[in-house]
Amino acid sequence: DARVTQTPRHKVTEMGQEVTMRCQPILGHNTVFWYRQTMMQGLELLAYFRNRAPLDDSGMPKDRFSAEMPDATLATLKIQPSEPRDSAVYFCASGLVRLPDTQYFGPGTRLTVL
């Protein structure tokens, strides 16, 4: 049963600390997406990668967020320094480029910044 995995599942940290979230896409998937979900904003796309290359990171606050794919089995999202307004659930999703496009979501990382 192929699934997207994310670690950690929960993270509580203090303002100003660095946060790193990790995602392992489904084996063979070549597209990885990072989303943030809050009650106020809903599901927002932060960044996405195709074949490990960043395609669009316009949804990310550039001064504090960074996203990378060091290899095909790992995507990372970092926040430095973290702020209370970053508290949200962060989802990673992976998929293949074909019609219909489909994305499979990981379980999410629930981040709380105090």
Partner 1 sequence: QKEVEQNSGPLSVPEGAIASLNCTYSDRGSQSFFWYRQYSGKSPELIMSIYSNGDKEDGRFTAQLNKASQYVSLLIRDSQPSDSATYLCAGSDRGSTLGRLYFGRGTQLTVWP
Instruction: Give contact residues for partner 1 (rule: CB under 8 A).
Output: 31, 33, 42-43, 45, 48, 50, 55-56, 91, 95, 97, 99-108
Least spacing, CB of residue 44 vs partner 1, in Å = 8
Identity of the residue, 13 or 104, whose beta carbon is nearer to partner 1 in the bound complex: 104
Identity of the residue, 45 or 72, whose beta carbon is nearer to partner 1 in the bound complex: 45
Least spacing, CB of residue 11 vs partner 1, in Å = 16
Least spacing, CB of residue 46 vs partner 1, in Å = 11
Identity of the residue, 33 or 65, whose beta carbon is nearer to partner 1 in the bound complex: 33
For β-strands 109-113 and 65-71, DSSP reports them as unpaired
Q: Which amino acid is at 72?
A: A
**Alpha-carbon radius of gyration of the chain:** 13
Least spacing, CB of residue 101 vs partner 1, in Å = 4
Place of tokens 């967020």: 65
Please tell me the distance from the alpha carbon of residue 68 to that of residue 43, in angstroms, as a whole number.
Answer: 20
Identity of the residue, 19 or 95, whose beta carbon is nearer to partner 1 in the bound complex: 95
**Of 25, 23, 34, 46, which Cα lies nearest the Cα of 96?**
25
Are the C-beta atoms of 89 and 34 separated by less than 8 Å? no
What three-state secondary structure class fits 84? helix
